[in-house]
């Protein structure tokens, strides 16, 4: 077995360039003949554009062009698409309003792009953008999803006069109603899942390069999925046919979902490069990022769960309004439906579930998948419900969970998903042991003696990752297949290059992907390189999101390696005059088992490429490709336990201990997996305690910078305790489930359940700021007698 | 335009630049030292931290002209050839994921350890977390960044 193989915490190979300042991010790219783009953006949440006067901007030194929506549409650039078709419960298709990369007649959110200035310098472009005089007729606006669906709310798109994008359902309503009607106890809960801004630290950026002689475009961009970007830019936005468009996503500084989408700015930079004959660069500043990067979450939910007299769940009914913002972004419609309501069964046996999701247009930036995407919303609902129910029924919440845990697999839920494997009680046991739950009463008493309120909160989450198989997602409305591709190249010198359609923007693929190759071929990791992020190098790929790079991306590599192995064995058997079945790969060599006859990988490689002595009929070369389409989603699950201390005088919450026990199946690199959990947990803590995108009633964005939007800092979080359970996933060759999103999914209910445990009231919303916590505490106390 | 003279990573440089040019733009655009990053517009994120005359500064909030005459060390100049103990510690402890905030984290970490050593104060976990107030990371949850700085503090 390779010392750098599966299960080893190999230090990251990509680190050196980052820790020495030699990373190459999109904004680090500089082309010859480069000009800069700056966007003219709507200051209004909703308005008609009645005129654009560019004369003053055009008169400035160094301004090359000012381009507007009508020109873009006139040049045949297509509207921005949404990639998942949802059908309403009455059978009608969802209502998709037109979204042009530059607004033509109407702006629908603060930040909606109206025009672009191309100039010699970045500052020159920005200054000139201020001088473009856009005349607006303001229209009434609405920012909240529930308000947008009320009668009389301002209409955003003519195709949806009531702002309803879809009114969708899942599950059996009659059976669920009957279950609730016959339940011994019905627990009700109203929750808001707060709107978040993803905030990868690298702002989005694009450099578009048009080669007039070849009629060819190159786009450097901050993308999680460069091939999908090329596909969409080509097939739908008509920028260029695919063979005339190369998309490169170099080092990308975090994504968390927000860099899946193909935004107006990339489209406009490509088009502007052609219009001006210049390379065009645009880099978002943070304020622009808050105004234009797709936001996440933003659900309002009412739910009822029924229990029988023994505490078994009998039914679960959920009504959710999802705010999707001003336009339907790429995966926006899938997020509150098939990525949300299909997880409403949680880890529990629930005989009847019904979910109704109404999606609303509002005058806010589009909302789409953000780390977890629908699954955090489901988990927050299910896990707050379980804790609330235990409190209401006066039973131990861990016992209530255990009583209802699914114990046998496969398990078909009433909401599409078929869970393939899991050990939910084992996860809970591991978490409780690591969190020293037994010692909690003493810790609580000690806190009380210091005047602090100590609480313990649980969350037993489940998620669906891999997002596949393609045939299944296609039947549910997906516009793309969700497989992955890989190519394994053995070079004549015996080194190996892996080309993958997955994309790493912090996940460490250059290390983990090499580890599975080192394991399979028993080679030093130094002999293996990972190539990704360039449509000219990698044949195709669906990119990285939905925790799919392990379960889907690595599986494609395994499949290609199997093909290489078969050919290597044939070559070795031929050259060593042995039977193929006797050939083994070990110790960096290809050997005849039980003999000293062996060939090095360099000898196999050379034999394959010289082709002087190959078996009859064998093609020269040693390169194999594979496309892998999973058989099912994967189902990572776990239990998180959060312990807090609340200062009743100030409402300040301190997270004193956080324990995560996750079941990710097979783990390639524990160090990297734990890092993924750390980051996800911090984002979950951010959602629970700190983060909230705020629009005022008129649709003005009030949280447009890090001065108004509270990002988690190092002193907001503790050291985390991480435990692993390893139930092998039967659905893919390595038995992996995915680890990228679990932290963000499992954490928020654990934090809120802990705070509400501490303060003794269940009535608390995210983010649980000191003000909100203090107010909640005051409500629990008897009103002071008037003097 | 303003003439800016600086010693950057040991090399003397002189440029005529617009009065409004920020130090980070001078480093990234004039000198093509792109290891120093810009992650926000309001001095919160710390991706742009460099050392100016021995102190950590946010180069997004410093004019190039203000720094003129000074000595600047960027992530590229922190160690010559070998890795600085702080750089090594970030690799050892998986203190980075996407790498975008990392140069600022490392430059802040080096400054923090040096200040505490000079003052004879212990750099506790609590102190590290408070000192990192001006550096935001979205990937790591800070766990391994704190561990990295703890390791480097023992080696510097």
Whether residue A240 contacts residue A234, with contact meaning beta carbons closer than 8 Å, is answered with yes
Is the per-residue pLDDT at A756 higher than 70? Answer: yes
Contact at CB, A253 and B142, closer than 8 angstroms: no
Domains of chain A with CATH codes: 31-139+201-254+259-292 (3.90.1170.50), 373-387+396-465+634-780 (3.30.365.10), 483-628 (3.30.365.10)
Contact at CB, A714 and B128, closer than 8 angstroms: yes
pLDDT attached to residue A426: 98
- Indicate the SS3 state at residue A35: strand
Domains of chain B with CATH codes: 2-77 (3.10.20.30), 85-155 (1.10.150.120)
Query: Which of A11, A21, A511 is the best residue to mutate to test the B interface, defined by the most B CB atoms within 10 Å of its own CB?
Result: A21
Report how far residue B145's alpha carbon sits from residue B106's, in angstroms, rounded to the nearest whole number.
9
Scanning every residue of chain A, which has its alpha carbon at the shortest distance from the alpha carbon of B98? A506
List chain A residues with CB under 8 Å of B78.
20
Scanning every residue of chain B, which has its alpha carbon at the shortest distance from the alpha carbon of A669? B94
Q: Confidence class of residue A781 from pLDDT cuts 50, 70 and 90?
A: confident
Query: Which of B143, B145, B148 is the best residue to mutate to test the A interface, defined by the most A CB atoms within 10 Å of its own CB?
Result: B143
Is the per-residue pLDDT at A782 higher than 80? Answer: no
Q: Measuring CA to CA, which residue among A179, A534, B53 is closest to residue A543?
A: A534
Kindly provide the residue ranges of all beta strands, DSSP E only, lying in A518-580, ordered along the sequence.
Answer: 528-531
Q: Measuring CA to CA, which residue among A691, A693, A695 is closest to residue A108?
A: A695
Lowest mean pLDDT among A1-10, A150-159, A383-392, A628-637: A1-10
Mean pLDDT of all residues in A315-341: 97
Whether B39 and chain A come into contact, CB under 8 Å, resolves to yes
pLDDT attached to residue B64: 98
Mean pLDDT of all residues in A573-599: 95
Mean pLDDT of all residues in A543-547: 87
pLDDT in tens, A398-414: 999 999 999 999 999 99
pLDDT attached to residue A613: 95
Is the per-residue pLDDT at A717 higher than 80? Answer: yes
Contact at CB, B74 and A21, closer than 8 angstroms: yes
List chain A residues with CB under 8 Å of B129.
713-715
Is the per-residue pLDDT at A643 higher than 90? Answer: yes
Report how far residue A71's alpha carbon sits from residue A349's, in angstroms, rounded to the nearest whole number.
56
Is the per-residue pLDDT at A1 higher than 90? Answer: no
Mean pLDDT of all residues in A535-553: 90
Angle among Cα A118, A120, A124 to the nearest 5 degrees reads 80
Mean pLDDT of all residues in B7-29: 97
pLDDT in tens, A436-459: 999 999 999 999 999 999 999 999
Scanning every residue of chain A, which has its alpha carbon at the shortest distance from the alpha carbon of B130? A715
Contact at CB, B141 and A286, closer than 8 angstroms: no
Contact at CB, A714 and B39, closer than 8 angstroms: no
Contact at CB, A253 and B83, closer than 8 angstroms: no
Report how far residue A723's alpha carbon sits from residue A662's, in angstroms, rounded to the nearest whole number.
6
Q: What percent of chain A has pLDDT over 70?
A: 99
Q: Confidence class of residue B109 from pLDDT cuts 50, 70 and 90?
A: very high
From A707, A714, A743, residue closest to B145, measured CB to CB: A714
Q: Confidence class of residue B80 from pLDDT cuts 50, 70 and 90?
A: confident
Q: Measuring CA to CA, which residue among A685, A196, A745 is closest to residue B142?
A: A685
Query: Which of B135, B139, B147 is the best residue to mutate to test the A interface, defined by the most A CB atoms within 10 Å of its own CB?
Result: B139
List chain B residues with CB under 8 Å of A123.
18, 20
For residue A29, give how far its alpha carbon lies from the nearest alpha carbon of chain B (Å): 9
Long-range CB contacts (within 8 A, 24+) of A530-533 = A530/A497, A530/A498, A530/A500, A530/A504, A531/A497, A531/A498, A531/A499, A531/A500, A532/A499, A532/A500, A532/A501, A532/A502, A532/A503, A532/A504, A533/A226, A533/A248, A533/A249, A533/A250, A533/A252, A533/A503, A533/A504
Whether B44 and chain A come into contact, CB under 8 Å, resolves to yes
Contact at CB, B141 and A707, closer than 8 angstroms: no
Place of tokens 């419609």: A333
Q: How many other C-beta atoms can be found within 10 angstroms of the C-beta atom of residue A59? A: 10
pLDDT in tens, A347-379: 999 999 999 999 999 999 999 999 999 999 999
Contact at CB, B41 and A705, closer than 8 angstroms: yes
pLDDT attached to residue A784: 61
Task: Give the dihedral sign, CA B72/B74/B80/B85.
Answer: positive
List chain B residues with CB under 8 Å of A200.
98, 100, 138
Contact at CB, B76 and A21, closer than 8 angstroms: yes
Mean pLDDT of all residues in A677-705: 97
Report how far residue A30's alpha carbon sits from residue A18's, in angstroms, rounded to the nearest whole number.
19
Q: Which two tokens stand for residue A297?
A: 């979450």
pLDDT in tens, A279-307: 999 999 999 999 999 999 999 999 999 99
* H-type alpha helices, A577-654: 601-610
From A505, A680, A714, residue closest to B98, measured CB to CB: A505
The mean predicted confidence, pLDDT, of chain A is: 96
Whether residue A243 contacts residue A206, with contact meaning beta carbons closer than 8 Å, is answered with no
Q: How many other C-beta atoms can be found within 10 angstroms of the C-beta atom of residue A50? A: 10
Mean pLDDT of all residues in B61-79: 97
pLDDT attached to residue A540: 92
From A12, A714, A743, residue closest to B142, measured CB to CB: A714
Contact at CB, A706 and B91, closer than 8 angstroms: no
Contact at CB, B129 and A675, closer than 8 angstroms: no
pLDDT attached to residue A787: 44
Scanning every residue of chain A, which has its alpha carbon at the shortest distance from the alpha carbon of B145? A714
For residue A787, give how far its alpha carbon lies from the nearest alpha carbon of chain B (Å): 43
pLDDT attached to residue A315: 98
pLDDT in tens, A411-420: 999 999 999 9
Contact at CB, B45 and A682, closer than 8 angstroms: no
Contact at CB, B139 and A506, closer than 8 angstroms: yes
Query: Which of A9, A18, A202, A742 is the best residue to mutate to test the B interface, defined by the most B CB atoms within 10 Å of its own CB?
Result: A18
Whether B89 and chain A come into contact, CB under 8 Å, resolves to no
From A505, A715, A743, residue closest to B133, measured CB to CB: A715
Whether B61 and chain A come into contact, CB under 8 Å, resolves to no
Report how far residue A552's alpha carbon sits from residue A464's, in angstroms, rounded to the nearest whole number.
13
Q: Confidence class of residue A546 from pLDDT cuts 50, 70 and 90?
A: confident
List chain A residues with CB under 8 Å of B27.
none
From B92, B103, B128, residue closest to A21, measured CB to CB: B103
Report how far residue B143's alpha carbon sits from residue B151's, in angstroms, rounded to the nearest whole number.
13
Cα dihedral A232, A235, A237, A243 in deg (nearest 10): 90
Is the per-residue pLDDT at A260 higher than 80? Answer: yes
Contact at CB, A23 and B137, closer than 8 angstroms: no
Q: Confidence class of residue A117 from pLDDT cuts 50, 70 and 90?
A: very high
Report how far residue A591's alpha carbon sits from residue A583's, in angstroms, rounded to the nearest whole number.
6
pLDDT in tens, A156-169: 999 999 999 999 99
Contact at CB, B141 and A21, closer than 8 angstroms: no
Does the interface predicted TM-score (ipTM) exceed 0.90? yes
pLDDT attached to residue A785: 53
List chain B residues with CB under 8 Å of A670.
none
Contact at CB, B143 and A17, closer than 8 angstroms: no
Query: Which of A201, A511, A706, A740 is the best residue to mutate to test the B interface, defined by the most B CB atoms within 10 Å of its own CB?
Result: A201
Contact at CB, B75 and A20, closer than 8 angstroms: yes
Nearby residues of A74 by Cβ (< 8 Å), 6 or more positions away: none
For residue B31, the 8-state DSSP code is S
A671: enclosing H helix or E strand: helix A670-685
Is the per-residue pLDDT at A468 higher than 80? Answer: no
Q: Which of residues 91-130 of B touch A (CB under 8 A)?
A: 91-92, 94, 96-103, 106, 125-126, 128-130
Q: Measuring CA to CA, which residue among B69, B71, B79, B4 is closest to residue B35?
A: B79
From B39, B94, B106, residue closest to A202, measured CB to CB: B39
């Amino acid at each position: 077995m390779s010392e750098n193989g599966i299960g080893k915490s190999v230090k990251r190979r990509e680190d050196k360039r980052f820790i020495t300042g030699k990373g190459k991010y999109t904004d680090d790219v500089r082309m010859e003949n480069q000009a800069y783009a700056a966007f003219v953006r709507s200051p209004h949440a909703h308005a008609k554009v009645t005129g654009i006067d560019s004369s003053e901007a055009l008169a400035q030194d160094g301004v090359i062009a000012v381009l507007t929506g009508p020109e873009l549409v006139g040049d045949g650039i297509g509207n921005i698409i949404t990639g998942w078709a949802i059908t309403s419960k009455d059978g009608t298709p969802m209502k998709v309003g037109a979204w042009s990369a530059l607004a033509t007649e109407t702006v629908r959110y603060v930040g909606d792009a109206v025009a672009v200035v191309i100039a010699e310098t970045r500052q020159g472009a920005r200054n000139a953008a201020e001088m473009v005089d856009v005349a607006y007729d303001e229209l009434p606006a609405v920012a909240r999803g529930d308000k947008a669906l009320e009668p009389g709310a301002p209409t955003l798109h003519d195709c949806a006069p009531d702002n309803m994008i879809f009114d969708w359902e899942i599950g059996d309503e009659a059976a669920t109603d009957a279950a609730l009607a016959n339940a011994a106890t019905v627990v009700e809960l109203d929750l808001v899942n707060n709107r978040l801004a993803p905030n990868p630290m690298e702002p989005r950026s694009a450099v578009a390069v048009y080669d007039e002689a070849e009629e060819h475009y190159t786009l450097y961009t901050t993308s999680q999925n460069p091939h999908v970007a090329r596909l969409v830019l080509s097939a739908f936005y008509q920028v260029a046919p695919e063979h005339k468009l190369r998309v490169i996503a170099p080092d990308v500084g975090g994504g968390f979902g927000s860099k899946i989408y193909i935004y107006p700015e990339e489209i406009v930079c490509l088009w502007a490069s052609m219009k001006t004959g210049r390379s065009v660069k645009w880099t978002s500043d943070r304020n622009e990022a808050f105004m234009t990067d797709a936001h996440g979450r933003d659900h309002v939910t009412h739910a009822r769960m029924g229990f029988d007299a023994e505490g078994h769940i009998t039914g679960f009914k959920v009504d959710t309004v999802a705010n999707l913002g001003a336009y339907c972004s790429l995966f926006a419609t899938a997020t509150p439906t098939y990525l949300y309501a299909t997880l409403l069964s949680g880890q529990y046996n629930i005989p009847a579930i019904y979910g109704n999701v109404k999606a609303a247009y509002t005058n806010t930036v589009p909302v789409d998948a953000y780390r977890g995407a629908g699954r955090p919303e489901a988990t927050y609902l299910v896990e707050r419900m379980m804790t609330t129910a235990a409190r209401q029924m006066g039973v131990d919440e861990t016992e209530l969970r255990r009583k209802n845990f699914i114990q046998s697999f496969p398990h078909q839920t009433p909401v599409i998903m078929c869970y393939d494997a899991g050990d939910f009680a084992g996860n809970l046991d591991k978490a409780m042991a690591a969190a020293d739950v037994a010692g909690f009463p003493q810790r609580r008493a000690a806190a009380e003696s210091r005047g602090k309120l100590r609480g313990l909160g649980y969350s037993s989450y489940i998620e669906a990752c891999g997002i596949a198989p393609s045939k299944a997602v296609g039947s549910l409305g997906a516009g793309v297949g969700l497989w992955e591709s890989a190519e394994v190249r053995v070079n004549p010198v015996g080194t190996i290059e892996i080309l993958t359609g997955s994309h790493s923007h912090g996940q460490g693929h250059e290390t983990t992907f090499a580890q599975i190759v080192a394991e399979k071929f028993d080679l030093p990791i130094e002999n293996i390189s990972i190539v990704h992020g360039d449509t000219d190098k990698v044949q195709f790929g669906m990119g990285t999101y939905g925790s799919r790079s392990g379960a889907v991306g690595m599986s494609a590599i395994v499949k290609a390696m199997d093909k290489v192995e078969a050919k290597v064995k044939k070559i070795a058997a031929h050259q060593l005059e042995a039977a193929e079945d006797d050939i083994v790969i070990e110790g960096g060599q290809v050997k005849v088992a039980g003999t000293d006859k062996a060939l090095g990988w360099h000898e196999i490689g050379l034999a394959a490429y010289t082709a002087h002595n190959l078996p009859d009929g064998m093609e020269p070369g040693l390169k194999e490709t594979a496309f892998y389409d999973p058989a099912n989603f994967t189902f990572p699950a776990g239990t998180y336990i959060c312990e807090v201390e609340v200062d009743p005088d100030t409402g300040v919450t301190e997270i004193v201990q956080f324990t995560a026990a996750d079941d990710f199946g097979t783990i390639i690199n524990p160090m990297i997996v734990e890092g993924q959990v750390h980051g996800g947990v911090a984002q979950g803590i951010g959602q629970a305690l700190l983060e909230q995108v705020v629009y005022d009633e008129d649709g003005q964005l009030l949280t447009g910078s890090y001065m108004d939007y509270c990002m988690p800092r190092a002193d907001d979080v503790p050291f985390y305790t991480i435990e692993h359970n390893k139930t092998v996933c039967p659905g893919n060759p390595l038995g992996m489930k995915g680890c990228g999103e679990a932290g963000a999914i499992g954490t928020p209910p654990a934090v809120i359940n802990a705070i509400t445990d501490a303060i003794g009231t269940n009535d608390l919303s995210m983010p649980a700021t000191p003000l909100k916590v203090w107010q909640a505490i005051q409500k629990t106390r008897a009103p002071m007698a008037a003097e | 335009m303003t003439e800016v003279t600086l010693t950057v990573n040991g090399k003397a440089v002189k440029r005529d630049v617009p009065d409004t040019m920020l130090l980070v733009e001078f480093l990234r655009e004039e000198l093509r030292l792109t290891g120093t990053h810009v992650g926000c517009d309001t001095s919160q994120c710390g991706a742009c931290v460099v050392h100016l005359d021995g102190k950590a500064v946010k180069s997004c909030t410093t004019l190039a002209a203000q720094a003129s005459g000074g000595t600047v060390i960027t992530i590229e100049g922190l160690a010559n050839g070998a890795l600085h103990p702080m750089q090594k510690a970030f690799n050892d402890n998986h203190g980075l994921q996407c790498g975008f905030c990392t140069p600022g984290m490392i430059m802040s970490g080096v400054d923090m350890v040096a200040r505490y050593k000079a003052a004879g104060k212990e750099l506790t976990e609590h102190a590290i977390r408070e000192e990192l107030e001006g550096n935001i990371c979205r990937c790591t949850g800070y766990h391994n960044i704190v561990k990295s700085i703890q390791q480097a503090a023992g080696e510097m």
